[in-house]
Amino acid sequence: MKLYIYDHCPFCVRARMIFGLRGLAVEEIVLLNDDESTPIGMIGAKQVPILQKDDGSYMGESLDIVRYIDNLADKGRLKEEIRPEVQAWLDKANTYISKLVQPRMVSIGLPEFATQGAVDYFVHKKEANIGSFAENLAKTGEYLQTLHTDLADLERQVAGGDNLNGEGLSMEDIHVFPLLRNLTAVRGLVLPPKLKAYTDNIAAASGVPLYTDRAV
């Protein structure tokens, strides 16, 4: 199977996680960010992740891919339940995380931004949503203050080291880890101890590396 991704894409991390966690092999292919024709040719939309199955057919939508691979692997099933407290955290964090993460993604050597055209495409598209990257970078301290308060809340929900709910892998892990992983690109981020151990453990178990060593 082949998985078409951008390295920075949190939805792609969901799909990458399930392969690693369930021990199934997949070939990861990173598209250039301004390559519209490849994904549109596959699923009719400029969007990743895209799974190409062994029969050649394509599947978009990260959670569909996660459930498909989870069933295929047949090594237990992810619990669907997301605790209301965790969902509330995701809803809040998702209102500002992209302001911290997106401006950094173009400067940490990711393969989807290997050309200037790909960088320009991303900057243009994302600045239309979050405003100037430079202004957002200048507000890092302010955003981090909010984030650290919110992470202290999430820390109270960490019930296990290998999975968030303490009972086994679940959709909570599929939703939360990709955000924490991308936040490791932010210099100055301090994860509380249980979240730090959890993030390190899921990175190791899933094979999705963190950005800690290139944080800016």
Ligand X SMILES: N[C@@H](CCC(=O)N[C@@H](CS)C(=O)NCC(=O)O)C(=O)O
Positions in the binding site for ligand X (CB under 6 A): 6, 9-11, 46-49, 61-63, 125
**Nearest approach, Cβ of 60 to ligand X (angstroms)?**
6
Give the nearest distance from C-beta 149 to ligand X in angstroms. Answer: 26
Nearer to ligand X, 129 or 149 (CB): 129
Provide the terminal-to-terminal Cα distance of the chain, rounded to the nearest Å. 34
Residue 170, beta-bridge partner list: 79
Q: Minimum Å distance from CB 73 to ligand X?
A: 19
List the one residue out of 2, 22, 7, 11 whose CA is nearest residue 49: 11
The residue among 98, 101, 65 whose CA lies nearest residue 174 is: 65
Q: How far is the CB of 194 from ligand X (least distance, A)?
A: 27
Closest CB to ligand X among residues 62, 140: 62
Cβ closest to ligand X, residue 70 vs residue 158: 70
Closest CA to 125 of 109, 147, 105: 105
Burial of 211: CB neighbours in 10 Å, binned 0-12, 13-18, 19+ = buried
